[in-house]
Amino acid sequence: MNYRLIPVLTLTALFSATSVMVAQEKVDKDVQWKIRREATDNSQILRTLHFLTDVYGPRLTGSPNLKAAQEWVVEETARWGLKNGKLEPWNFGHPGWVNEKLSVHVVSPVKDSLIAEALAWTPGTTGTITAQTVQLNVPSQPTKEVLAKFFDDNRAKVKGKIAMIGAPAAVPVTILTPQKRREDNDVRAQYDPVNPSGGGFPGGNPPAPTPGVVPANQVAEQLDQFLVAAGAAARVNDAGREHGQIRAFNNRTFDVTKAVPTVVMRNEDYGRLSRLMADGRTVELELTIVNKTYPEGATAYNVVAEIPGTDKADEVVMLGGHIDSWHSATGATDNAIGCATMMEAIRILQAIGVKPRRTIRLALWSGEEQGLLGSQAYVKEHFGMVENPKPAHAKFAGYFNIDSGTGRARGMSVFGPPDAAKILREATKPFEDNGFFGVNATQSRRRGGTDSTSFNEAGLPGIGIQQDPIEYNSHTWHTNLDTYERIIERDAQQSAMVIAAAVYQLAMRDQLLPRLPKDKMPALPTTTQ
Ligand SMILES: [Zn+2]
């Protein structure tokens, strides 16, 4: 019996206990057993991963690689027997961008090759260029006047030079290695239905800007303008991470004419060059960068495929994750493995021949890395917000999202009342042997770090899956090390099993998940992201 019924029953048992009783969720043990067997015996996870990473990676939004990956998903899921597979367009508004070649060498005072990645949506070099370096220490938290003086003082210095931005970060040697699996007791405590401990998503508003200080994003924008106008040959940023890790993001304007050729260099090489310059030596680098832009990338796509429902086919339960990646590796843990896991979950259901009452829809988003853009566009187009809903809003059964690397699923959090979590908790309880320990409810509509929050924001039951960290935050997330080799197949199999079972439950039960009543629905947060 559910813990919450006890006080309620003592008060009302004499009258009408059944009318207040939240029934124990019925779980189909036979289907759950078939899910386990299919997941273990016929896993397609590594095949899917190989295509998404080795064949089509990296998958930057708007790039031809990503579109090819999405077209492959449509073909592959059709081969499995899924229906209605297609690419759904949304307006990205920026060209696609691909780095095809990059080499960085120091040619004076020593000769060596250096490790760097291109910053996305920056231009390439015109052939191979050789130029001296100059270090630019941009003042921190400058006022308008301080920043203007800094640009004036350095205009002549950067012309024709390679600008290295800032002193190298001092990255301390790691003494304690981060924990790769969470302890069962910690996870159990997080999902304790009576008294959950911490966990969940951090919220809160960004700090208010300091008066008189130019905000960091404006400093960055003005620095880009300055380097272009002053005729800098190229720019080098310090990756600032240990063990050669590089995280390369993008020129925020997405316009290659508004930046100079830019690379992010591993901290070890950046430090070496900086120390040579600090000795008073003249450092010269040779750069070859070939980048291409694709205007057709302005239309980006989400990819969907379905198992059509039967008697409740107009009601939909969804599962997915983002298929776009950053560009400095093949995006294996972020988020090819999430796509492979969700594709596997729906493949398993198709393979064991379930006839779901509701339609089960796989959706793989793009534009996630630029701010959940694909899932935002999809929710807006198909469901609308709870304040201004489209008809499909009321018929939506839930959206499961996975996006935290290769680690096995340890729990979930669903947007809605505690009873929504109770239903999912009971449906997934048989998977405790896989280390899956429960489901919490969240009432936050704040747009967060991944696509489930696009659904939460709209007042829909978005379901975020929490996972073991493995090497995600410490090594692979957004880095040049995010490759096929970092995947643990067994973990992804275990995730796929529990997700398939939970999806099946929502596709079969008589009622949709309970939602927050109107008077309990939190207002839309004023600041998102
Ligand atoms: Zn991601």
Cα(149) to ligand 1 centroid in Å equals 39
pLDDT digits (tens, 9 = 90+) for 194-209: 888 865 444 455 667 7
Q: How far is the CA of 424 from the centre of ligand 1 (A)?
A: 24
Q: Look at 529 and 102; give whichever has higher pLDDT.
A: 102
Nearest to 503 by CA among 403, 375, 362: 362
pLDDT one-digit tens code per residue, 333-392: 999 999 999 999 999 999 999 999 999 999 999 999 999 999 999 999 999 999 999 999
Residue 364 Cα to ligand 1 middle (Å):
12
Q: How confident is the model at residue 108 (pLDDT cuts 50, 70, 90)?
A: very high
With beta carbons less than 8 A apart as the criterion, state whether 372 and 454 touch. Answer: yes
Q: Which residues pair with 442 in a beta bridge?
A: 415
Ligand 1 center to 235 CA (angstroms): 27
Using 50, 70 and 90 to split pLDDT, how confident is the model at 406?
very high
CA separation for the pair 15, 32 (Å, rounded): 37
Encoded amino acid at 51, one letter: F
| E strand or H helix at 273 | helix 267-278
pTM, entire model: 0.93
Question: Average pLDDT of 260-279?
Answer: 98
Q: How far is the CA of 475 from the centre of ligand 1 (A)?
A: 14
pLDDT exceeds cutoff 60 at 19: no
Residue 352 near residue 496, CB atoms below 8 Å: no
Given pLDDT bands bounded at 50, 70 and 90, which one contains residue 22? low
- CA 385 to ligand 1 center in whole angstroms: 24
pLDDT at position 177: 87
Residues 297-316: tens digit of each pLDDT: 999 999 999 999 999 999 99
- Greatest CA separation found in the chain? 90
Residue 176 per-residue DSSP state: S
DSSP 3-state assignment of 411?
Answer: strand
Using CA atoms, how far apart are residues 105 and 30, in angstroms rounded to an integer? 61
Q: What is the mean pLDDT of residues 156-167?
A: 98
Residue 13's pLDDT is what? 39
Q: Judge contact between 117 and 480, C-beta under 8 A.
A: yes
CA of 244 to the centre of ligand 1 (A): 21
CA–centroid distance, residue 321 to ligand 1 (Å): 8
On the CB side of 473, CA atoms within 13 Å amount to: 8
Strands 312-322 and 384-385: unpaired
What residues form DSSP beta bridges with 133?
162
